[in-house]
Amino acid sequence: MDKFHLQILGSGSALPTKFCNQPSQVLSLREKSFMIDCGEGTQRQMRISNVRISRLNNVFVSHLHGDHCFGLIGLISTLGMFNRTVDLYIHAHSDAENILAPLIARFCEDLPYRVVFVPINPLKHELIYEDRSLEVYSIPLKHKMLTCGFLFSEKTKDRHIIREKVDFYKVPVREMQNIKKGLDFVTENGDVIPNACLTTAPTTPKRYAYCSDTVYTESIIPYIEGVDCLFHEATFLHADLTRAKATMHTTALQAATIAKKANVKRLIIGHYSARYEDLSPFLTEAQSVFDNTSLAMDGLAFEI
Amino acid sequence: MDKFHLQILGSGSALPTKFCNQPSQVLSLREKSFMIDCGEGTQRQMRISNVRISRLNNVFVSHLHGDHCFGLIGLISTLGMFNRTVDLYIHAHSDAENILAPLIARFCEDLPYRVVFVPINPLKHELIYEDRSLEVYSIPLKHKMLTCGFLFSEKTKDRHIIREKVDFYKVPVREMQNIKKGLDFVTENGDVIPNACLTTAPTTPKRYAYCSDTVYTESIIPYIEGVDCLFHEATFLHADLTRAKATMHTTALQAATIAKKANVKRLIIGHYSARYEDLSPFLTEAQSVFDNTSLAMDGLAFEI
């Protein structure tokens, strides 16, 4: 069964601490890796966590605060040193190109690959990326600047072939793709073999949602309803709700409330403010509302 | 006795590794800290090594390759979050301002302090910074782009007062500064008390030289002759001399040769290429020529 593999590279927020670097994650599925946000020092976090840099073709940037994008120029530069030739796609607000293009021109002479900027409209929920097995949608968030989260949604998968049955009915190889898609099989004699005799139901497609940075907003619930895993920022503890509102961030309690209301299967929280040395109260607080919560930590990986 | 305290923040080169971040050091003297180079992730390395960010007023940048300056925008941004009000001086090639000013304007709205760019001419050996106790000189190096090292030279210190003697001769307080500077004391009766009776020789001023990045060049020897400590890059082992020459870097053996020829007291090498997993051969190789050599490592501190 295919799984999303989520590698946390940075679980902190604007001020990096000893244990929490600035935000970044890598979501992997079937040999492809997708980066979400890229704070300063992300390329080194990849090294430390043994994330293979060569499989990374798409970076999704939630918003253009420095802690979510200062690592991009270093990453782009380093990919060039590895003699990469494959295009790198940066999905971000259109300002990203205005900021990065001059830096690339200045620091990355003779870059052996292309950096392609794909503008996102963070105000809209829409399909922003698609390949054979995956779709990515933007999720409008509410923060101090235009910001969006991302929903990674696996496409419906093929039905599973029952090997003995297709052998028994002598299904020719050329028919197999149709059978996997759910079509019945018609024998040379004109007999119809229902698909249900030849296959079992496909694995349920997985969905992962990333929502950071944002103030508490139930407007995201329709987009993340029932996802297998939700990463939601929890910059503050609920005792600091006033500060959370003022800076347009969320508390651990609020993140868990969103998870519960959206009926998600699992919650991961992170983006902790540097003011907290002990992070265990984040878990206690969130679990008081939504039990299946985990704390993001630099270097931790989750199988979804 | 005052000492230079040298904190290594990044001992690596262009590609950060698990153990070696991109180049940065902080040299401290009498409550003042001076940063030399600022690779990506430097602000986090400061956190990890407990370097006090508030004492940092001057950053010296050897050259504008990304691994020596990508950490500047994050550092500048973070200093703003600490509500700093004191000016920060960036001593670097004049291009630094062209690169950073737009980023500061974009990412650091309402920065509560000023970033002052002080242009360096890397082709010249000249005084580029001076305060009450310290002078800093540029050292022209030979690299792929305009690059200079830095010589941190403590000013000549005051002579040490012999307390019993100045009491005995009833030297008035108003005369003490002159006595410390080496002047004789003339009593009310007109008797001349030679300075040597009242003071002992001052502590010898310390000198620290930083030379990175550069190909092997003996042209730097006159500037670093006899320094208390020399940091010299050693990107490669001597077996890779061809690669060192092609990329305009130095081998460990060559760095040690410079140290020996310049008759320095101590050598620290660093800026290792990411290709080497085991760094111990760097030490063996350098010590075969210059015994008092140490390896720079992230987090290590040296008292000079």
Q: H/E element holding A259?
A: helix A252-261
Give the gap in angstroms from C-alpha A101 to the nearest C-alpha of chain B: 12
Asked if the Cβ–Cβ distance from A47 to B18 is below 8 Å, we say yes
pLDDT of residue A302: 97
- Note whether A14 contacts B: Cβ–Cβ < 8 A: yes
Q: Does B1 have pLDDT greater than 80? A: no
DSSP for chain B reads ----EEEEEE-B-SS--SS-PSSEEEEEETTEEEEEEE-TTHHHHHHHTT--GGGEEEEE-S--SGGGTTTHHHHHHHHHHTT--S-EEEEEETHHHHHHHHHHHHH-TT-SS-EEEEEE-TTS--EEEE-SSEEEEEEE--SSS--EEEEEEEPPPPPEE-HHHHHHTT--GGGHHHHHHT--EE-TT--EE-HHHHEEPPPPPPEEEEE-S----GGGHHHHTT-SEEEEE--B-GGGHHHHHHTT--BHHHHHHHHHHTT-S-EEEE-B-TT-S--HHHHHHHHTT-SSEEE--TT-EEE-
Q: What distance in Å separates the CA atoms of residue A296 and residue A13, rounded to the nearest whole number?
A: 12
Of residues B16, B77, B106, nearest to A44 (C-beta): B16
Rounded mean pLDDT, B65-93: 97
pLDDT of residue A195: 94
Nearest to B66 by CA among B39, B32, B102, B93: B39
Give the gap in angstroms from C-alpha A205 to the nearest C-alpha of chain B: 35
Q: What distance in Å separates the CA atoms of residue A22 and residue B155, rounded to the nearest whole number?
A: 40
Residues of B in contact with A99 (CB under 8 A): 103, 106
Residues of A in contact with B107 (CB under 8 A): 65-66
- DSSP H helices, A114-210, are 163-168, 176-181, 195-198
> If you classify domain A5-157+203-303 with CATH, what class do you get?
alpha beta
pLDDT of residue B103: 97
Rounded mean pLDDT, B171-179: 92
pLDDT of residue B3: 82
Q: What distance in Å separates the CA atoms of residue A205 and residue B260, rounded to the nearest whole number?
A: 66
Residues of A in contact with B40 (CB under 8 A): 40-41, 43-44, 70-71, 74
Give the gap in angstroms from C-alpha A72 to the nearest C-alpha of chain B: 10
Nearest residue on chain B to A51, judged by CA atoms?
B18
Q: Identify the three-state secondary structure at position B255.
A: helix
- DSSP 8-state code for residue B175: G
Residues of B in contact with A40 (CB under 8 A): 40-41, 43-44, 70-71, 74
Q: Where are the domains of chain A?
A: 5-157+203-303, 160-200
Give the gap in angstroms from C-alpha A37 to the nearest C-alpha of chain B: 15
Q: Which A-chain residues 26-65 have CB contacts (< 8 A) with chain B?
A: 40-41, 43-44, 47-48, 65
Nearest to B286 by CA among B219, B232, B249: B232
- Note whether A19 contacts B: Cβ–Cβ < 8 A: no
Asked if the Cβ–Cβ distance from B17 to A47 is below 8 Å, we say yes
- Note whether A101 contacts B: Cβ–Cβ < 8 A: no
Q: How far is CA A47 from CA A73, B21, B77, in A?
A: 16, 11, 25
Phi/psi for B114 (5° steps) reads -100, 140
Q: How far is CA B74 from CA A6, A40, B241, in A?
A: 26, 7, 35
Q: H/E element holding A10?
A: strand A5-10
Nearest residue on chain B to A12, judged by CA atoms?
B44
pLDDT of residue A54: 87
Query: Tokens representing B258?
Result: 């410079």
- Of B67, B213, B228, B298, which one is the catalytic site residue? B67
CB B33 within 8 A of CB B52: yes
* CB-CB neighbours of B230 under 10 Å: 27
Q: What is the mean pLDDT of each run of 10 residues along chain A (304 residues)?
A: 88 96 96 96 97 93 98 97 95 98 95 97 97 96 97 93 92 92 91 93 94 98 98 98 98 98 98 97 98 98 96
Return the CA Rg of chain B: 22
Q: Which residues of A form the catalytic set? A: 67
Asked if the Cβ–Cβ distance from B44 to A16 is below 8 Å, we say yes
Preceding omega of A213 cis (within 30 degrees of 0)? yes
- Confidence category of residue B54, pLDDT binned at 50, 70, 90: confident
Q: Is the pTM of this model over 0.80?
A: yes
pLDDT of residue B127: 98
Query: Tokens representing A219?
Result: 């407007």
- Confidence category of residue B75, pLDDT binned at 50, 70, 90: very high
ipTM: 0.92
pLDDT of residue A147: 98
Q: What mean pLDDT, rounded, does chain B reach?
A: 96
